[in-house]
């Protein structure tokens, strides 16, 4: 089993937080995005989409989404569970993972990849070359700010995103807020006190 990743990138950050929290040791190779290693024929022979992270199983099959990789690793390393221990917990965490990815993480990605000059001509992840669309950046910013307000309301009544226990949903939101800060120069408004308090509480778990 071997993990291909690039730790500074947003999606790999989600997985790194998961692995570090659970104390998992795994053979890892860094794919340097800044040097374009993800677009080489050598890497695409392993991961045709040219994305990270990717976990190559002992069978040779490849898992190329954080959702799938964390499910696989959690089954192998059940201590310090992050994906729930009951059917209800697992469903709630998965529901929040999906909401955060589509309404927060992807909104930031749209904002970032459609404004940063480094992504001119390749606004989508992977190997498909596409032009930037400024309107998508504005839509992403609007969606992000709207969703953070909703998240603030949700977090006013509980300690963590999916309930009373720290979970992968918290990791996903933490990683998304980090991404928003450096990529989109967006941070939660000071009025979102429940979200700000949650962030301090959740970060303390990882520290």
Q: Where are the domains of the chain?
A: 2-76, 87-206
149, with CB counted inside 10 A (0-12, 13-18, 19+), is: middle
Fold classification of 2-76 (topology level) = Glutaredoxin (3.40.30)
User: What pLDDT, on the 0 to 100 scale, is given for residue 49?
Assistant: 86
User: What pLDDT, on the 0 to 100 scale, is given for residue 116?
Assistant: 78
User: What pLDDT, on the 0 to 100 scale, is given for residue 128?
Assistant: 76
> Do residues 17 and 167 lie in contact, with contact meaning Cβ atoms separated by under 8 Å?
no
Q: Copy the structure tokens of residue 173.
A: 């939101």
CA 185, 110, 179, 166 dihedral sign is positive
Fold classification of 87-206 (topology level) = Glutathione S-transferase Yfyf (Class Pi); Chain A, domain 2 (1.20.1050)
User: What pLDDT, on the 0 to 100 scale, is given for residue 205?
Assistant: 98
Low-confidence ranges of the chain (pLDDT < 50): none
> Do residues 137 and 71 lie in contact, with contact meaning Cβ atoms separated by under 8 Å?
no
User: What pLDDT, on the 0 to 100 scale, is given for residue 122?
Assistant: 79
């Amino acid at each position: 089993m071997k993990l291909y990743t690039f730790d500074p990138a947003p999606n790999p950050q989600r997985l790194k937080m998961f692995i570090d929290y659970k104390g998992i040791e795994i053979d890892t190779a860094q794919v340097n995005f800044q040097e374009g290693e993800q677009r080489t024929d050598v890497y695409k022979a392993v991961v045709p989409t040219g994305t990270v992270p990717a976990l190559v199983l002992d069978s040779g099959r490849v898992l190329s989404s954080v959702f799938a990789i964390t499910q696989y690793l959690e089954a192998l390393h059940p201590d310090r569970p992050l994906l729930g221990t009951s059917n209800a917990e697992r469903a709630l965490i998965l529901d929040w993972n999906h909401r955060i990815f589509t309404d927060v993480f992807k909104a930031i990605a749209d904002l970032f990849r459609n404004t940063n000059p480094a992504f001119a001509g390749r606004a989508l992840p992977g190997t498909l070359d596409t032009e930037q669309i400024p309107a998508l950046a504005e839509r992403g910013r609007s969606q992000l700010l709207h969703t953070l307000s909703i998240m603030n309301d949700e977090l006013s009544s509980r300690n963590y995103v999916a309930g009373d226990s720290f979970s992968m949903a918290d990791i996903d939101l933490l990683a998304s807020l980090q991404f928003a800060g450096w990529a989109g120069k967006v941070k939660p408004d000071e009025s979102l006190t429940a979200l700000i308090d949650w962030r301090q509480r959740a970060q303390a778990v990882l520290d």
